[in-house]
Amino acid sequence: MKLLFILLLMLLGAAFTLMNDGNVNLNYYFGNRELPVPVVILGAVAVGALLGLLAALRNITRLRRENAALRREIRSHSRDTDYL
- The count of other CB atoms within 10 Å of the CB of residue 19 is 10
Using CA of residue 35, residue 45, residue 18, residue 22, what is the dihedral sign? negative
| Stretch among 3-7, 23-27, 32-36, 77-81 having the lowest mean pLDDT | 77-81
CA distances from 25 to 33, 34, 39, 60 (A): 6, 4, 12, 38
Domain ranges in the chain? 14-82
The mean pLDDT value for 37-42 works out to 86
- The model's pTM: 0.62
pLDDT at 83 over 80: no
Does 84 have pLDDT greater than 70? no
Query: Which residues, in sequence order, are CB contacts of 33 under 8 Å at separation 6+?
Result: 25, 26
How much of the chain, in percent, has pLDDT values that exceed 70?
98
